[in-house]
């Protein structure tokens, strides 16, 4: 229909420009115009497939741009979620985001003064991970307090931590720690009964450490590689036993967090890159506050000093 109308219009024009003479030239112009218009309509013209390809490329480019945009938007949304979570959980500042995990893991050696005889044969004992990243590591011991709010808080804030479990306080509620593990937390070895290791024979220590390895493997499906002796006390038998149970490293700590204070090992009473922070699964029975109170306090200290909490396993 449109072509027909166009043809009539062009015919009239052709007629007019032909200055009254119904010449063959005028008709020819009209015919040419129609032909040109027909091509412009693109109905099966020679540029059809070309055009389809161009459209396809344009769509791909658009999709690519949208992908890049959504990654930026994703990061923005993640940050907004962190800010909102920090507000919701009463943190004064939003926790800093840790850098990407190091491509090469640092070489861990035993801290000076922490060696046992023939130390080089045993898993290293350390309180700080050698790194220049402005990160610290959060480790939580024992397991008596099982506060669901704590799990929720850490999940929403996306703060990584590592747990060192003693079965005698964990066994009444394995599902609590299963939920923790499902959130990405590694469950490590802190012996079965939390005894003072140097007071035990080699065999007794082996039972405490290897026994806890077996329990964690059975209950949580994964054999730990990290061990922390109760109270941080150990002797050569402890490290020998730990090694025989498959332990690769013995992280102690350089700072300890409570609900209302931090204790430091170093004379400067400060945090350092790679410091391991110890705290406990404890509640109001032991502390003047809850586990979320403790996290609020430790995160205030860590963030004020310009540190991010990183995943210990990323560095070991
Ligand atoms: Zn302990």
Tokens describing residue 261: 């204070």
Q: Are 159 and 307 in contact (CB under 8 A)?
A: no
Tell me 225's DSSP state.
S
Q: What number is the average pLDDT over the span 271-290?
A: 96
Query: How far does the centroid of ligand 1 lie from the alpha carbon of residue 83, in Å?
Result: 33
Q: What number is the average pLDDT over the span 207-230?
A: 98
Query: How far does the centroid of ligand 1 lie from the alpha carbon of residue 191, in Å?
Result: 9
**CA torsion angle for 166, 138, 118, 214 (degrees, to 10)?**
30
Tell me 7's DSSP state.
H
How far is residue 198's CA from residue 77's CA, in Å, rounded to a whole number? 50
Give the least confident one: 52-61, 89-98, 170-179.
52-61
Ordered alpha helix ranges (H), the chain:
2-17, 24-40, 48-88, 148-157, 167-170, 174-182, 202-220, 236-244, 291-304
Q: Tell me what pLDDT residue 136 has.
A: 98
Q: Tell me what pLDDT residue 70 has.
A: 84
Query: How far does the centroid of ligand 1 lie from the alpha carbon of residue 314, in Å?
Result: 23
- State pTM to two decimals: 0.78
Count of beta carbons in the 10 Å neighbourhood of residue 254: 23
Query: How far does the centroid of ligand 1 lie from the alpha carbon of residue 255, in Å?
Result: 14
Indicate whether 1 pLDDT > 60.
Answer: no
Query: How far does the centroid of ligand 1 lie from the alpha carbon of residue 284, in Å?
Result: 17
Residue 256: pLDDT band with limits 50, 70, 90: very high
The tens digit of pLDDT for each residue in 89-104 reads 999 999 999 999 999 9
Tell me 137's DSSP state.
E
Q: Greatest CA separation found in the chain? A: 123
Q: Which region, left, alpha or beta, applies to residue 162 given φ > 0 means left and ψ of -120 to 50 means alpha?
A: beta
The percentage of the chain sitting over the pLDDT mark of 90, rounded to a whole number, equals 74
How far is residue 214's CA from residue 205's CA, in Å, rounded to a whole number? 14
Query: How far does the centroid of ligand 1 lie from the alpha carbon of residue 93, in Å?
Result: 29
Q: What number is the average pLDDT over the span 196-202?
A: 98
Query: How far does the centroid of ligand 1 lie from the alpha carbon of residue 135, in Å?
Result: 23
Residue 150: pLDDT band with limits 50, 70, 90: very high
Indicate whether 201 pLDDT > 70.
Answer: yes
Query: How far does the centroid of ligand 1 lie from the alpha carbon of residue 232, in Å?
Result: 8
What are the E-state strand segments in 94-208? 125-126, 135-142, 162-165, 186-189
Tell me 193's DSSP state.
S
State the residue for tokens 């402005």. 134
Contacts of 123 (CB under 8 A, 6+ apart): 227, 239, 242, 243, 247, 248, 249, 250
Q: Tell me what pLDDT residue 20 has.
A: 39
Angle at 46 between CA 43 and CA 47, to 5 degrees: 85
Mean pLDDT of the chain: 86
Residue 71: pLDDT band with limits 50, 70, 90: confident
Indicate whether 69 pLDDT > 90.
Answer: no
Cα–Cα nearest to 94, from 157, 45, 20: 157
Query: How far does the centroid of ligand 1 lie from the alpha carbon of residue 188, in Å?
Result: 12
User: For residues 10 and 101, which has the higher predicted lDDT (pLDDT)?
Assistant: 101
Indicate whether 39 pLDDT > 70.
Answer: no
3-state secondary structure of 314: helix
Query: How far does the centroid of ligand 1 lie from the alpha carbon of residue 249, in Å?
Result: 17
Query: How far does the centroid of ligand 1 lie from the alpha carbon of residue 267, in Å?
Result: 23
């Amino acid at each position: 229909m449109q072509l027909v109308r166009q043809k009539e219009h062009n015919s009239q024009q052709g007629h007019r420009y032909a200055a009254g003479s119904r010449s063959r030239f005028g008709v020819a112009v009209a015919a040419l115009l129609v032909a040109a218009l027909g091509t412009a309509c693109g109905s099966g013209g020679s540029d059809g497939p070309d055009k389809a390809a161009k459209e396809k490329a344009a769509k791909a480019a658009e999709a690519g741009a949208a992908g890049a945009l959504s990654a930026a938007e994703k990061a923005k949304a993640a940050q907004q979620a962190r800010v909102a979570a920090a507000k919701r959980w009463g943190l004064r500042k939003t926790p800093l985001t840790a850098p990407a995990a190091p491509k090469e893991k640092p070489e861990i050696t035993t801290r000076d003064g922490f060696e046992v005889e023939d130390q080089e044969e045993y898993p290293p004992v350390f309180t700080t991970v050698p790194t220049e990243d402005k990160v610290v590591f959060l480790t939580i011991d024992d397991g008596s307090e099982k506060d669901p709010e704590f799990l929720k808080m850490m999940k929403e804030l996306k703060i990584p931590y590592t747990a060192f479990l003693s079965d005698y306080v964990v066994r009444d509620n394995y599902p609590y720690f299963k939920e923790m593990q499902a959130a990405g937390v590694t469950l490590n070895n802190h012996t079965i009964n939390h005894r003072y290791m140097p007071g035990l024979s080699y065999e007794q220590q082996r039972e405490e450490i290897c026994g806890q390895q077996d329990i964690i493997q059975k209950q949580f499906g994964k054999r730990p590689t990290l061990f922390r002796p109760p109270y941080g006390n150990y002797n050569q038998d402890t490290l020998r036993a730990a090694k025989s149970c498959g332990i690769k490293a013995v992280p102690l700590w350089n700072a300890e967090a409570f609900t209302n204070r931090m204790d430091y090992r170093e004379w400067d009473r400060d945090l350092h890159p790679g410091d391991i922070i110890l705290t406990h699964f404890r509640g109001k029975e032991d502390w003047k506050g809850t586990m979320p109170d403790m996290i609020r306090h430790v995160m205030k200290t860590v963030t004020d000093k310009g540190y991010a909490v990183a995943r210990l396993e990323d560095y070991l």
